[in-house]
Amino acid sequence: MSEAIIDRSLLPPVVRRRTRIGLVAGGLGTYWPQFPGLLPQLRESARYVSERFQGMDADVTDAGFISDAQEGAAAAELLRKADCDLIVMFLTTYLTSSMVLPIAQRSNTPVLVIDLQPTEKMDHATFETGDWLAYCGQCAVPEVGNVFRRAGVPFRSVSGHLRQESAWARIGQWIQAAKIRATLRHARHGLMGHVYPGMLDVSTDLTLLPATFGSHVEVLEFDDLRQRVEKVTDAETAARMDLARQIFTLDRTVADDDFAWGARVSVGLDRLVADFELDSLAYYHRGLDGELHERLGAGMILGASLLTARGLPATGEYELRTSVAQLVTQVVGAGGSFCEIQSLNFEDGVVEMGHDGPAHLAVASRDPLLRGLGVYHGKRGWGVSVEFDVRHGPVTLLGLGQDRDGTLTFIASEGDVLPGPLLEIGNTTSRVDFGRDPGEWVDDWSATGIGHHWSLSLGHRAGDYRAAANLLGIPFRRV
């Protein structure tokens, strides 16, 4: 099962604010009267670059072509007002750093410098000075890098030629990173219930997310969910059960009453998310002897999985940082399922990992199964749980660590999911080959400060997550 197979009419994806990219091209105006054919050629290159950016999944503010410091200042003001998530500076030929520094300083936005010469190489036999100048955009890159460093502006660049697809792939990676930054800047994370007793690694300083990313954390009570579930009608419950039957295969262990309760809670969850305008949700409630709040917590898995499939990760065990990691992997189209280590298989050389509870349906290799569980291991209550095998092929783990000084860190590892025997216990499960001894991998992974949960996403994406950490101004660690 892939994202393309999921019927979007059944699970309409969450719509979020589009990524905003600022674009400005430039060169040194002193050249224009000296070499009359140069500026038209550079403007044509700038037009091509602008068209490539306009074709990306982003809103682009094109500040045009600048030739001196005054025009640079005007572009800086335009891009400041545009509230961009990333500003791209296209150095078409040499220009002075004074032309572009104000753009980086006044916008308070990450900047990517690109220099894309017209073709792979110059024609030395026919070129004159004016022809060469169209190829020397890279001449200014070290100057800009030096001045940015001295000004305390993070520097990043992509150098190549105009139609070099590998260069555009590197640029695209920064656009993906900007998409992550945009999502986290405006995200509203729901946190409902209380921390799982004793899980010290899960505890997160709630000020860190707004301070680091600009996100908002909305603290919720299970009573906020209870009040909405109580208003769900029998007809709405039946409709949600019909929806679930179209998406899941129901195992014979599923009890009708538990299925109906999960469907009722699912409808209430949708209303909770809508009322608080949430982009993610982490939850946990211990409960006692089948009381209502325990039943609510135990009935979350169906609804949380449906929300996660729509692009709104809903994660158990109060795992705020992991719900953020799942949001990151989701917005780049890589899915992202709640995950932990389950076992090691030294004979096959794989790490078996997965989790009970909410799962991202986009990473499933087959139609997901609803299984009835009389016991949730380590938690109170009973009900229906989601089970499937993760799609075979490349995957990337992404988690958020928190260091002693409070710094949040992106932590990633790439591997490949292989076929093989799996437990059938109402979990999402996978066998991941990291190309090394499983025990050694666990040691290195654990030494990063990862915590015991993370997001499992499709594809080899460490480069995307590294670029996002760079734009967000946080460390990146890779195993």
Identify any residues that bridge with 412 across adjacent strands, giving them in sequence order.
398, 478
Q: What is the CATH number of domain 187-478?
A: 3.20.14
Fold of 20-184: Rossmann fold (3.40.50)
CA distance linking residue 301 with residue 314, whole number of Å: 9
pLDDT of residue 289: 81
Q: Give the chain's radius of gyration (CA, Å).
A: 25
Phi, psi of 306 (to 5 degrees): -65, -40
Q: How confident is the model at residue 377 (pLDDT cuts 50, 70, 90)?
A: low
Specify the pTM. 0.91
pLDDT tens-digit series, residues 214-254: 999 999 999 999 999 999 999 999 999 999 999 888 889 88
Are the C-beta atoms of 303 and 314 separated by less than 8 Å?
yes
**Pair of tokens at residue 321:** 């940082």
pLDDT at 200 over 90: no
pLDDT of residue 423: 74
Q: How does DSSP classify residue 421?
A: -
CA distance linking residue 354 with residue 332, whole number of Å: 21
What number of helices (H) and strands (E) belong to the chain?
A: 16, 19
> Quick check: helix, strand or coil at residue 192?
strand
Q: Which of 62-71, 180-189, 331-340, 357-366 has the lowest mean pLDDT?
A: 357-366
Tell me what the pLDDT averaged over the chain comes to. Answer: 91
pLDDT tens-digit series, residues 421-476: 777 766 788 899 999 999 999 999 999 999 889 999 999 999 999 999 999 999 99
- In terms of pLDDT, which residue wins out, 288 or 103? 103
Q: What is the mean pLDDT of residues 300-318?
A: 91
Phi, psi of 423 (to 5 degrees): -70, 145
pLDDT at 152 over 50: yes
User: Cβ contacts of residue 156 below 8 Å, gap of 6+?
Assistant: 110, 111, 112, 113, 174, 470
Q: At how many degrees (to 10) do helices 462-472 and 165-186 cross?
A: 50
Listed by start position, the domains of the chain span: 20-184, 187-478
Q: Residue 394 CA to chain centroid, in angstroms?
A: 17
pLDDT at 8 over 70: no
Identify any residues that bridge with 411 across adjacent strands, giving them in sequence order.
399, 477
pLDDT of residue 364: 79
Are the C-beta atoms of 414 and 344 separated by less than 8 Å?
no
pLDDT of residue 4: 42
Which amino acid belongs to residue 109? T
> Quick check: helix, strand or coil at residue 206?
coil
Q: Which of 227, 234, 322 is nearest to 271 (CA)?
A: 227
H-assigned helices in 152-254: 165-186, 208-212, 222-229, 234-247
Are the C-beta atoms of 83 and 19 separated by less than 8 Å?
no
pLDDT at 1 over 50: no
Percentage, residues of the chain above pLDDT 70: 95
Q: What is the mean pLDDT of residues 69-75?
A: 96
Are the C-beta atoms of 455 and 353 separated by less than 8 Å?
no
pLDDT of residue 3: 42
